[in-house]
Structure 1
Amino acid sequence: MSKLLFIIIGFILIFILFYRQYLLKKMNEELNEKIKIEIKKNEEKTRISIQQSRMASMGEMLENIAHQWRQPLSTISVAASGIEIKKELNILNDEELSDSLKHIKNATQYLSNTIDDFRNFFVKDKIPSNINIRNTLNKTIDLMSSTLAKEEITLIRNIQNINFTSYENELIQVLMNIFINAKDALANRKSEKLIIVVIKQIEDNLVIKIKDNAGGVDSSIIDKIFEPYFTTKHQFNGTGIGLYMSKLIVEKHLIGEISVKNIDFIFNSKTYRGALFELVLPLNITNNK
């Protein structure tokens, strides 16, 4: 009888052990499923946040494009009107017609290039491409040129000619956000307004430094400006989304680092104080994934 009891107890213990393993396995499967769902939710939130940042950038770019289009549209209008008037007066010669048509064609090409810049900015990079940092910075400045000119900001460049592999549109978006941040910080400055860009290669990294002479960020909040929706006068359009998304893009997409600090610097024998944003990016992003 005692032997049978031991056998029954043994079966019960084995059953309990297997049932416990079954429950643990089920719990692990449910936990893994919950983790997958949360990961998908976070990925979707990130995607939406990036899109929101780009849509916010659109307003700035539309203002730039509208400003940039005024002159070429005026050129086209004046040239076309001149042709029409001279034709009616029968004083239009071939040389004047050729010159006017040349002006119209050049202005039209400029408008077309502006549209391409705007369209390309909102096309998501599918794969990393080989790009040149001077060309990338020039594209960024072209998108920002009218805004910088309107605010009477002088842009100083000290750039090495470096080719690297990365996501160009994402980098342009980050650079635009930093320029917009500097522009907003400089808005109330009455005297000389400066943005200085220094780009160089250090070992296997591309180092981009962008500084302004707006006086710097308040030391009590400088550690918070990359937080989502944290707002200061240095923030992007007052929402905080620009610098937060810049950090997210740099770290998650460009596999790099972004930081900010206040510095004192000398330019043209004058001492200034301002914010310094520094990006450290791999020269070949495919080697860091």
Structure 2
Amino acid sequence: MKIYNNCPVVSFPSFPSSSSTSYIFDIIISHLYKPPQLSTSTPHPPTTSLPLLYTITNTHITTTMIFNNLFSRLSRPFTAATRLSIAPESPAATTSLPEGAQRCTVAAGCYWGTEHLYRKHFSGKGLIDAKVGFIGGDLTNPSYRAVCGGKTGHAEAAEIIFDPSQVSYRQLIEFFYRMHDPTTLNRQGPDTGPQYRSAIYFHSDEQERIARDVTEKANAQWWQGKIVTEIAPAGQWWTAEEYHQLYLERNPEGYECPSHFLRPLKDLE
């Protein structure tokens, strides 16, 4: 077993091409998953919060690599376009709202899982539609490829269209703090970069008031004062390419950030 960046990784000696193939995969895995350095002198309890599971004895470490999500993560699709922007078509920007509907715009890491969880929990309960896209950056009408570079300033986000007579904005924001980890700056699970930041983009003074109130309570009651979520006015929205919409519904085995799950937290007081 090799060590890269203080990270035990798995070799692939059975690959037919050459030992260089094994080396390349070692590097890829060590950069995707960087667990804390472990001492072999003191037993540690196994952890389930990282993609590596360790069985540790006084004399050796047995490393088991879980490959679910790895290759789907490596093969997250890019647009075929070579440009950074998908202009010059008219902006794939904010769509018109049905009468009485409102928007809730949040960023919680990879937008595939964010959209998927909101649809799963609020379909038939006030959710009218949900789109994935980009917000908070400088480039006009950016492509997925451009945003993935982490240089445009955009966040991967979900725009939730909802009926406030069936579900409240407060409920959607409380759900936001249950379904991801808001304590990791510019990171969600193994996904790193400012495009994966935690953020709430409000569309009115009332939404800002609610977002800040829920954040303050969630910070005190759920997240031990560690929330780093950005709260900012909703600027220009750019809807992502069509093949990113409903991605996990169309690709059930596709990549889903491991930190995207509903936490069993007590109701906020």
Q: TM-score range by the shorter chain?
A: under 0.3
Larger Rg, first or second structure (1 or 2): 1
TM-score by length of 1: 0.25
Higher helix share: 1
Structure scoring higher RCO (CA < 8 A, sep ≥ 6) equals: 2
